[in-house]
Amino acid sequence: MSPAAKARVSVVTGGASGIGAACARELAASGDLVMVVDRDLAKARDVAAEFGGRAYVADVGDETSVEACAEAIERECGPVDVLVNSAGIIQVPVRPHDLPMSAWDDVVRVDQRGTYVACLAFARRMIARKRGSIVNIASIAGMRSMPLHAYAPAKAAVIAITECLAAEWGPSGVRVNAVSPGYTLTPALKNAIDRGERDVSALSANAALRRLVDPSEIGRVVAFLASDAASAITGANLPVDCGWLAGTSWSTYGGLREASG
């Protein structure tokens, strides 16, 4: 970007930790003025301080909160060019009858409803300007059967929301894409591993690359989809999973083979 060029304004929800923070850092590294939006304003400020961004508080499940946040950002920082919807919560992989409906409601409210609410709030202004890029963080859990009876359906809905809004808003110049991370070493996953709720070897055994994803790898793909280099891409869902989707069905044949050569 030339010194005279105006920096893009990018917003990352759930930007205070994990994949959201990685996306915020990557967008900032590419020259964007990044707004870190999170329920935890203190942590959002810590992340934003790393690269001279700004922090805002919002509960993505509350449309009034998100609309107020969008209005404040546009008023104080200028037109938003990029929105990354990374706000989300996970769940324990229990049987349906052991999953409280309150927990199910929380996941759907944040992961599914929150994505849709944020899309509406920020896209309204993008549509008026005839430009903008939205990247929703979905999950490979939304592409396969898993014992995550709230999280997996919610992330499948994020993929569907992405496709529907891409078709709806494409004529207005707004692109909408999704990234579906595989098992990624975020603080949330690390905590689940520490609690004994996830087994690292089991998570990586079916991945073709035989490892977990680093959050920075998600950030780089998100930055690409938000950039002009992806100007013809909309309605896409791009898995970033170290080949987990490609490798899982090999378990029927004894699992992935050892490295060749």
Enzyme catalytic residues: 151
CA distance linking residue 73 with residue 70, whole number of Å: 5
Tokens 């919560």 sit on residue: 89
Strand-pair partners of 35: 11, 54
Q: Is 100 exposed, middle or buried (0-12, 13-18, 19+ CB in 10 A)?
A: exposed
Q: Which token pair is 58?
A: 């919002």
